């Protein structure tokens, strides 16, 4: 049996993943991804070029040393909506040394203070920070937030890192030695700034977190001898589906957003505030034809990821659903995807 027939009656990208849940049950996971243009007047326009579903993800830089620009879009479910902001902080004038970036997304509200480059310096036996440098724009990525590694101790066994953000900057451990020129974070929580050398503050940004960063990793469950003996290779009994949400702390909604909420972002564009309402589409629905004479299944989807890319003036919306399979991927012979009120048929054999 070949691949299932896909009838995509939407203008959006579609991909189906095969995954397993906590108990090893095989799932068919339809994912619909819509790409909109953010117009200067605040309106949204369906983009001519729709970005494909990205099952492998994309890093900002070198693996192990950079954060995700786009997470792998292969989770079998997300229990709530993630909101992500990709872009740069922009100052109102070239003499500015700091600016506040504010994101309002339906019930969510997050503010980050963005400061020009600063460094730890030492003079007359005193450690202090240099004055912040003026800047035009600074990327809103975890590499510019508090975190990173401290490898200043001569004993490699005492090298350590900030478990909430290993790719950041400014982290110093209790075993570390002073090093001139360590860069402080550009992105800070206004309520929890770095004050003294060696401070440990909250890393803040607007992008994706990695699966092995805290606090996300704490939802992954316990992988101990009991798990090896009783559950392996299944996920641990204490696995929490919140692990599958990847937004920065404070940017995961308390449930699924409906898709018609008001959004605004301040100081991420030379043109000032960006504001818009989500398009208000009903969630895509998938009609799945199954083999063996079984009746068709209807798979509803939920809006679980929203990505605002102000560098490219794009809005990305991802809906996801899942369907249990009896025997495997070949249970599905065809799938039809539609969104009420939107119809651009594309047939792929």
Full residue range of the structural domain in which residue 142 is found: 94-188
212 and 332 within one domain? yes
Residue 212, domain member (yes or no): yes
> pTM of the entire structure?
0.94
Cβ-proximal residues to 57 (8 Å cutoff; 6+ apart), any chain:
68, 70, 71, 72, 73
39 and 118 within one domain? no
51 and 129 within one domain? no
Residue 198, domain member (yes or no): no
Residue 103, domain member (yes or no): yes
CA nearest to 315, candidates 127, 119, 42:
42
Last residue of a domain, one of 155, 188, 221: 188
Residue 126, domain member (yes or no): yes
Residue 197, domain member (yes or no): no
Question: SS3 for 166?
Answer: coil
216 and 343 within one domain? yes
Residue 123, domain member (yes or no): yes
For each of the chain's 349 residues, which pLDDT tens digit applies?
Answer: 458 899 999 999 999 999 999 999 999 999 999 999 999 888 999 999 999 999 999 999 999 899 999 999 999 999 999 999 999 999 988 889 999 999 999 999 999 999 999 998 987 778 888 999 999 999 999 999 999 999 988 888 889 999 999 999 999 887 778 888 889 999 999 999 998 888 899 999 999 999 999 999 999 999 999 999 999 999 999 999 999 999 999 999 999 999 999 999 999 998 889 999 999 999 999 999 998 878 889 999 999 999 999 999 999 999 999 999 988 888 999 999 999 877 664 444 4
217 and 79 within one domain? yes
Give 183's DSSP letter: B
162 and 24 within one domain? no
- Distance from C-alpha of 149 to C-alpha of 204, rounded to nearest angstrom: 16
Residue 257, domain member (yes or no): yes
> Total structural domains in the chain?
2
Residue 201, domain member (yes or no): no
């Amino acid at each position: 049996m070949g691949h299932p027939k896909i009838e995509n009656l939407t203008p959006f990208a579609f991909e189906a993943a095969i995954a397993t849940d906590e108990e090893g049950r095989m799932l068919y996971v339809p994912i619909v991804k819509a790409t909109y243009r953010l117009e200067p007047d605040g309106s949204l326009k369906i983009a001519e070029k729709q970005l494909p579903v990205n099952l492998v993800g994309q890093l900002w830089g070198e693996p192990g040393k950079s954060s995700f620009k786009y997470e792998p879009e292969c989770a079998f479910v997300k229990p709530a909506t993630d909101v992500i902001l990709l872009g740069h902080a922009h100052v109102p004038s070239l003499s500015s040394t700091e600016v506040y970036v504010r994101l309002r997304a339906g019930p969510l509200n997050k503010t980050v203070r963005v400061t020009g480059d600063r460094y730890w310096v030492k003079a007359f036996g005193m450690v202090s920070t240099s004055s912040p440098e003026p800047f035009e724009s600074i990327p809103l990525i975890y590499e510019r937030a508090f975190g990173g590694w401290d490898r200043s101790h001569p004993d490699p066994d005492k090298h350590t890192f900030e478990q909430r953000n290993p790719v950041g900057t400014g982290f110093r451990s209790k075993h570390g030695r002073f090093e001139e020129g360590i860069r402080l974070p550009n992105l800070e929580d206004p309520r929890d700034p770095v004050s003294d050398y060696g401070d440990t503050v909250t890393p803040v940004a607007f992008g994706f977190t990695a699966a092995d960063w805290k606090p996300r990793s704490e939802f992954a469950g316990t992988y101990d001898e009991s798990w090896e003996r009783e559950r392996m290779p299944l996920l641990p009994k204490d696995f929490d589906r919140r692990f599958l949400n990847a937004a920065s702390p404070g940017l995961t909604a308390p449930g699924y957003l409906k898709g018609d909420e008001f959004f605004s972002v301040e100081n991420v564009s030379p043109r000032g505030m960006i504001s818009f309402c989500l398009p208000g589409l009903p969630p895509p629905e998938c009609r799945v034809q199954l083999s063996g004479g079984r009746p068709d299944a209807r798979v509803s989807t939920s809006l679980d990821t929203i990505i605002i890319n102000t560098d490219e003036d794009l809005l990305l919306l991802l809906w996801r659903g899942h369907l249990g399979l009896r025997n495997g991927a070949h249970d599905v012979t065809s799938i039809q995807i539609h969104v009420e009120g939107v119809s651009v048929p594309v047939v792929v054999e």
